[in-house]
Amino acid sequence: MKRFDTIDELINDLGIGRATVYRRAKRFGISLSNVSEGISDEDYLKLTKPLQKNSHVDNSENNEKYRIEVLSLKENIETLKTKIESQDKRYEDERKRNNQRETELLEKLSNEQNLLSQSQQLQLLTEQRLHDAENRIKLLESPKKEPKKGFWARFFG
């Protein structure tokens, strides 16, 4: 059993920081309130040893939990990657279909514009021919006017 007048003497004897002493005492359930009455050799050894976060059993349990969680997260990542790849493939297929459809529609539009142009040219040509035919008919239907004959030409001629 070791006795110290103050906690500062204990800290100096251990050669570690104040916060470390309190942390280790809390971890091992050692009361530092009555240091002057003495600390058992077992408690003193506990204070000198560095803290281990958990015992080996606790570490293996935590490791197993973390390993399971990591595996679960990896599975989720792979699932999400697969979903993203399938979405990318669908988007790419949709883009190809849209480009193909756009090309088809542009070709149809071009054909329709050509047909419209041809139709307008035919209509103009037909209107010109109709106008020419109407002029010929007018010429044929109008009576022929003979030039006026003078007095002597009518009389002798």
Phi, psi (5° rounding) for residue 39?
-120, 135
* In the predicted structure, residue 77 carries a pLDDT above the cut 90: yes
Mean pLDDT across the stretch 117-133? Answer: 96
pLDDT in tens, 21-31: 888 888 888 88
Mean pLDDT across the stretch 76-94? Answer: 96
What is d(CA 94, CA 91) in angstroms, rounded to the nearest whole number?
A: 5
* In the predicted structure, residue 59 carries a pLDDT above the cut 70: no
* In the predicted structure, residue 57 carries a pLDDT above the cut 70: no
* In the predicted structure, residue 2 carries a pLDDT above the cut 90: no
Check if the beta carbon of residue 4 is closer than 8 Å to that of residue 36.
yes
* In the predicted structure, residue 119 carries a pLDDT above the cut 70: yes
